[in-house]
Amino acid sequence: MKNNIIYLVFIFLLILIVYSLTTRLFEKTLFVSTNGSDNNSGTFGKPLRSIQYAVNIATAGTTIHILPGTYRESVTVSNSGTKDSPITLYVAPSDRGKVILEGSELSSQMIWHKCNTVNCKKIPVNSGHEVFFTHLDWNEIPYQIYENISGRDLYPLRLARTPNYNVTTDWKFHQNWWTSEDSSENNKVLSDHKLKNIGDINGATINLIDGGTRCGEFSYSRVIDNFNGQKGQIIFDQPVGFSIFGSQENGISQYTKYYVENKPQFLDEKGEWFYDKKSGILYIWPLEEKNPKNLDIEISKRSFGLNLSKASNFIVDGLTIKYINESDIFHNESSAAIIINPEENSQVKNIKLVNLDINHSSAGITISSPYNLSRVENISLTKSKIDYIDKNVFVAAASSQFPSNVSNITINDSDFGFSSFQNNDIGLSFVRVSNIKLVNNKIHDFANYPIVFTGFERNDGTVKNLVIENNFINNNCLNLSACSSIKIYGGKFLDTLIKNNIMENNKGWSYCQEAKYGQGYAHGIFISNASGITVQNNIILNMSDIGIEIYPRQIPTTNNYIINNLISRSSTGINLGNPKDAFDLNKLAHNTRHDGDIIKNNIFLNNNTAINIDPADSNSIAIDYSAYINNKNDMIFRNDPLISLNSIRNAFPKWDIHSIETNTQAFRNAKSGDFNLYYTSPLRGKGEPQSGNPWIQANLFLLGLANDIGPCKFSWVGNTCAVNGN
């Protein structure tokens, strides 16, 4: 018996040894270096040269260790790991920032010629002697060009345009564009006397921001194919203006801002360039006004960095990706630093992106699964930074089927910013995607919406399990109006939680808004045509318009819960809107607007109006346990200011029964952004009770455990919320 046990132990140990040795045979490390060769074995002493070759020969368990250097290639990954043995693209912590996957080519590697009146006939005479040209030996059209000044500062060069790029206030990006001052409100004809002296602009591109039905809310890009120079008019073959559910709005008026680009006659100042598609010739007037052969200019070429559309069980750790080109903007080709776009009947799963740095590119990360029978799941982005992006920094879009064929996306501990100015795209966009966690991120300095979740709109599908928590969202909506920190749009949502976020300083600036109304127009949270959202324990400060806006137009907005939030220094704290004058109003959405909405335990501090409310049925909503502090109006009901808490209670006996009016002494130090409560604060213990038993509730109060009003609670030691994003 004893010998049998020894024998069994021996066999078990032998199996373990064999398994370990077998596993090691399949788990190996390949090294890649700019000094290597793809004919090498891939060891540290004999590294490979290209990342592409390394991923081509990688198998489950392989780690591809990329050594410092600049890799000018696009990498398509076709091999996958397993769940227990993924393939890893790895950059050592000490090498991060030194391993760069670039989508560009250097001007110093090209042959340049100086312009003169003979070889640059279409370039303006007064600038021709400063312009250099080269023939690009590739088919891709460059859309991003950057110049490094003395190796220190990076500047984007601008596609030749009029009026010239001139931004005197960082967040007023379109301040100095031309104004279509001779236009009447319409959607087909832009009129401006300045266009009479512009020359032939057929084939050029016009970029404009609307000023008609919408006031500075959307941007448009059109190729000009019908121009009347004598009248100074551009006639569009497709309408300019927002269009949805059969309604067409007017985008053009005397408040429309625009510029025209991509013609050689506009190359009239340093820092501009023009590319002639027919000849393949690139013209540049460098900022340093030297031959580009002797300068550090990056000319974008490749439309993606990594394509993971055929990969699963794959990790990318520590890589920097930059200068990724844009595909032709008038076609539907994908372009991004990282692309996940599986073919029909295929899937991508278990992709981990960590410690990435993506910058100065057309787009950041694009996930698209338009085919009903394709699937993307379990994608995570962690401890990464994506900034200075022309379009979306992160987009995930599923097909129109339900349940969603894109799910389980986690984004955490990352930094996103300084993006979307060129195209006014959304920063982080999620379309019909379920099971999302957006947690512990810094999201800041976007021209447009930084975060948007879109549902199935009028279809029967429901977006489920969204968690947007502990994010610091600051200084956004810089170049468009009617914008917000977080937007939930279009349809039914379930188990969707917006919690413990800090939102500050949305500008909502546009020329049209400033000209018409003298101020910006931006919200903190915008629930538009959507139901089933819980907004809890958020701090919303300094919005140019509304802290939390809930607005039905084409789709109902019901059963939204607004609980334990602090809204301060905004024009309105919470607005339950009534779009009765909208010409595309849906009867169902209007007749059930705000049914089942709950507003409880919120603090309204120093707003012009605390609550502006117009529900279909005042008995279908609940408002209570609020704290009104130094607001000009506590409540406006259907355009009738009730102002005081007592008048609200008299008019609506079921509302605000337990709410209070107090002063800023409710907080430790509100002026410094410390909204935590001290022991004798009038807000302490005045939230909705946890227990119906008075004795239990009284003891909870004495112990400091009773519900307080607002997100920042009383604590015997320390603070309960960090207000300044620290």
* pLDDT 10s digits, 400-415: 888 899 999 999 999 9
- Provide the pLDDT for residue 402: 86
Question: In the numeric block, which tokens belong to residue 680?
Answer: 């004798």
Q: Is the pLDDT of residue 212 over 70?
A: yes
Q: For the chain, what is the total number of helices (H) and then of strands (E)? A: 7, 58
- Provide the pLDDT for residue 20: 39
**Where residue 178 falls among pLDDT bands split at 50, 70, 90?**
very high
- Contacts (Cβ under 8 Å, ≥6 apart) of 508: 477, 480, 481, 482, 483, 520, 521, 522, 523, 543, 544, 545
- Contacts (Cβ under 8 Å, ≥6 apart) of 76: 52, 55, 307, 309, 310
**Where residue 663 falls among pLDDT bands split at 50, 70, 90?**
confident
3-state secondary structure of 49: coil
Residue 599's closest CA among 549, 638, 554?
549
d(CA 101, CA 353) in angstroms, rounded, equals: 15
Q: Is the pLDDT of residue 4 over 70?
A: no
Model confidence over 537-562: pLDDT tens digits? Answer: 999 999 999 999 999 999 999 999 99
Q: Is the pLDDT of residue 157 over 90?
A: yes
- Provide the pLDDT for residue 704: 87
Q: Is the pLDDT of residue 121 over 80?
A: yes
Q: Is the pLDDT of residue 396 over 50?
A: yes
Q: Is the pLDDT of residue 1 over 60?
A: no
How far is CA 238 from its chain centroid? 27
Which residue did the predictor score with more confidence, 525 or 138?
525
- Taking the complete model, does pTM exceed 0.85, yes or no? yes
Residue type, 215: C
What is the arithmetic mean of pLDDT over 280-303?
96
Residue 480's closest CA among 540, 437, 399, 425?
425
Residue 560's closest CA among 546, 548, 569, 573?
548
Q: What is the DSSP string of 59-86?
A: -TT-EEEEPSEEE---EE------SSS-
d(CA 281, CA 142) in angstroms, rounded, equals: 11
- Provide the pLDDT for residue 19: 39
Distances in Å between the Cα of 199 and the Cα atoms of 203, 264, 281 are 12, 11, 22
- Provide the pLDDT for residue 716: 84
d(CA 547, CA 549) in angstroms, rounded, equals: 7
Tokens 């338009």 sit at which residue? Answer: 370
Handedness of CA 37, 41, 45, 51 (dihedral sign): positive
Residue 175's closest CA among 447, 557, 536, 553?
447
Whether residue 677 contacts residue 704, with contact meaning beta carbons closer than 8 Å, is answered with no
What is the arithmetic mean of pLDDT over 45-56?
98
Whether residue 284 contacts residue 273, with contact meaning beta carbons closer than 8 Å, is answered with yes
- According to DSSP, the β-strands at 132-135 and 281-285 are antiparallel
Neighbours of 458 (CB within 10 A): 13
What is the arithmetic mean of pLDDT over 133-162?
91
Q: What is the DSSP string of 316-338?
A: EES-EEE-PPPPPTTS----EEE
Which residue did the predictor score with more confidence, 157 or 716?
157
What is the arithmetic mean of pLDDT over 512-531?
95
Whether residue 464 contacts residue 495, with contact meaning beta carbons closer than 8 Å, is answered with yes
**Going along 177-278, which residue ranges are E strands?**
178-179, 189-191, 205-209, 219-223, 227-228, 233-235, 243-244, 247-248, 257-261, 272-276
d(CA 682, CA 605) in angstroms, rounded, equals: 14
Q: Is the pLDDT of residue 331 over 50?
A: no
**Where residue 21 falls among pLDDT bands split at 50, 70, 90?**
very low
Least confident of 306-310, 333-337, 635-639: 333-337
How far is CA 705 from its chain centroid? 38
- Provide the pLDDT for residue 25: 39
Which residue did the predictor score with more confidence, 83 or 150?
83
Q: CA 493, 368, 458: angle at the middle one, nearest 5? A: 35
- Average per-residue pLDDT for the chain: 92
* Percent of the chain predicted with pLDDT > 70: 94
d(CA 483, CA 218) in angstroms, rounded, equals: 10
What is the arithmetic mean of pLDDT over 563-583?
93
Q: Is the pLDDT of residue 643 over 50?
A: yes
Longest dimension (CA), the chain: 107
Which residue did the predictor score with more confidence, 515 or 726?
515
Model confidence over 338-365: pLDDT tens digits? Answer: 999 999 999 999 999 999 999 999 999 9
Model confidence over 673-713: pLDDT tens digits? Answer: 888 898 899 999 999 999 989 999 999 888 889 999 999 98
- Provide the pLDDT for residue 723: 66
- Provide the pLDDT for residue 328: 62
Residue 335's closest CA among 324, 348, 343?
324
What is the arithmetic mean of pLDDT over 501-517?
95
292: phi then psi, degrees, rounded to nearest 5: -55, -20
- Provide the pLDDT for residue 330: 42
- Provide the pLDDT for residue 333: 62
d(CA 140, CA 103) in angstroms, rounded, equals: 11
